[in-house]
Amino acid sequence: MHKSRGVAMRVYVSVDMEGVAGVVSWDQVTPGKSDYMHARGWMIEEANAAIAGAFDGGARHVLVNDSHNGMRNLLPHELDPRATLVSGGLKDYGMMAGLDDTFAAALFIGYHARGGGPGVLAHTWSSRVIGVRLNGQEVGEWGLNAMIAGAFGVPVVMVTGDDCLAKEVREGLPGPVETVVVKRALTKYAAENLPRAAALEAIREGAARALRKVREIPPFRPQPPIALEVDLNATQLADSAAMMPKAERVGPLTVRYTAEDGLEAFRAFLTFMALAAYAD
């Protein structure tokens, strides 16, 4: 029996913040800044809309992973009580912590476009990164995280954020992935946003639709061996990242690692980030 059928359908929800409707500045997504509390509330609302849509679409268990910044943004007492919450920053697979092969599908909520491309607050992991490729394919956080899901055989069936993110996902992930556009990017720091009620309704309806077509969407599985290439924004960062065992320096700003599978490729990416931060 397909794991998306039956009474135990499990759905995974990873929730970021930069792609939430109304969010257009770093102050809004930075804990301690005056605008953060408003954006935090919007993030919780969009997470709850996705949870409700997942149950509408047939889920019997929903696991939500707080995936922004220190990963302590979602307030348990304000989250839909039907969902289980993973929070905290030190966890395996980061934005995909808690995922395993028992899940039928993954939803990405509040995500953003990749670094080096257009989109509201577009970046990949940090400002040190200006590009990431998997076997030559440009990806953002959505691609790295979908690769983790794919390693467990789990398809990403819905992604929400701005129109630039939606375009990247439609071009980069397999199958008819549901993309819910809650804002249209005007610049990196400006957007035309859906009204809150409309954004929440679109997310809920999109999640339900996505789960109803889960059989049509395959997992994202780059062909092994996986060539991970990371472009950094300064030569000293690439100098440091290239010290990683098995790493190759393939350009002034670019390091490469060849991995046997998606999980190894993701761990290599994290190691590149740690080494680059050391040299910054």
User: CA-to-CA distance for 20 and 42, rounded, in angstroms?
Assistant: 7
Annotation marks residue 123 as catalytic = yes
Query: Strand 190-193 and strand 248-251: pairing?
Result: unpaired
Point out which residues pair with 11 in neighbouring strands: 62, 105
Query: Strand 129-134 and strand 190-193: pairing?
Result: unpaired
Given the residues 38, 68, 112, 123, select the one marked as catalytic: 123
3-state secondary structure the chain: CCCCCCCCCEEEEEECCCCCCCCCCCHHHCCCCCCHHHHHHHHHHHHHHHHHHHHHCCCCEEEEEECCCCCCCCCHHHCCCCEEEECCCCCCCHHHCCCCCCCCEEEEECCCCCCCCCCCCCCECECCEEEEEECCEECCHHHHHHHHHHHCCCCEEEEEEEHHHHHHHHHHCCCCCEEEEEEEEEECCEEEECCHHHHHHHHHHHHHHHHHCHHHCCCCCCCCCEEEEEEECCHHHHHHHCCCCCCEEEECCEEEEEECCHHHHHHHHHHHHHHHHHHC
CB 153 within 8 A of CB 247: no
Residue given tokens 């990164």 in the structure block: 129
Provide the annotated active-site residues.
Answer: 123
